[in-house]
Amino acid sequence: MRSSSLLILGLLQAATLALAAPADEHQRGLQAYHRGDVVGAISLLRPPAQAGHAPAQALLAFLLERADETAEAARWYRLAAEQDDPEGHAGFAQLLASGRGVAKDEKAAALHFSKAAARGHKPAAAVLAQAYRSGGLGLAPDPEAAARWQAVAG
């Protein structure tokens, strides 16, 4: 092999390891959460979240939200949503809809619920179905849209 091919191979291997590390750290944080170690989970999730790993950002946000650290949770949910993570969109939408940790904005909440639901997030689809049935989140009642989102929600 030529030296340039070896260099490229080495860079690809390094990139693969760099991508695997945040995913592995996220998995360890998830396992800690499932064991009931929320403080440990938060500690384990911060590095991959800071590295830009969207699932770690969304899970960290979820844990922070449950700890009433809603402003910080909103920041992490927003970062995950910016990467099109369904949990990030759904979590950020919940905060926007309630005005917890961020200014209340039903129009933005509906948008983020829609993005999450379009990516198969069933609870977000259920929220949209209800909003279209009742005219919530600033949406006009629309029985057809309600039925479509209800079908996604299952």
In one-letter notation, the amino acid at residue 49 is: A
Instruction: Say if residue 9's pLDDT is above 90.
Output: no
Specify the 3-state DSSP secondary structure of 116.
helix
All structural domains of the chain with their residue ranges: 3-116
Rounded CA gap, 123 and 118, in Å? 11
The secondary element (H helix, E strand) that includes residue 110 is: helix 106-118
Q: Which fold has domain 3-116?
A: 1.25.40
Per-residue pLDDT reduced to its tens digit, 87-103: 999 999 999 999 999 99
pTM of the predicted model as reported, rounded to 2 decimal places: 0.85
